[in-house]
Amino acid sequence: MRGRSRRIARGVRARADFITKCAHELRTPLTGTKGYVYTLHRAESDPAKAAKLDVINGECERLGYLIEYRLELARARAGGRRRRAEGGGER
């Protein structure tokens, strides 16, 4: 029974680690996209184009929220519900 419990615990940790790594890999290009949108928005004088950039930025925000939510859910399931400020960074 102990062996089975250990295997289950390892599986839960592995899944949480996988989700953490995926979240990092998703956040990296998302941050770049948000930076480009910000730069383009500052230089844009056409209100119609600026509105489209606002939509892109809003979708980036939404995707960022979904990534963070999924990461927190994985941490909670793994029993390691820690916040970054408490020393629980993703790496």
Q: What is the pLDDT of residue 47?
A: 95
Q: What is the pLDDT of residue 21?
A: 87
How do the pLDDT tens digits run along the chain, 91 residues long? 678 888 888 887 888 788 888 888 999 999 999 999 999 999 999 999 999 999 999 999 999 999 999 888 877 877 754 444 444 444 3
Q: What is the pLDDT of residue 80?
A: 55
Residue count of the chain, please give it: 91
Whole-angstrom CA distances from 50 to 33, 46, 47, 57 are 15, 6, 5, 10
Q: What is the pLDDT of residue 77?
A: 75
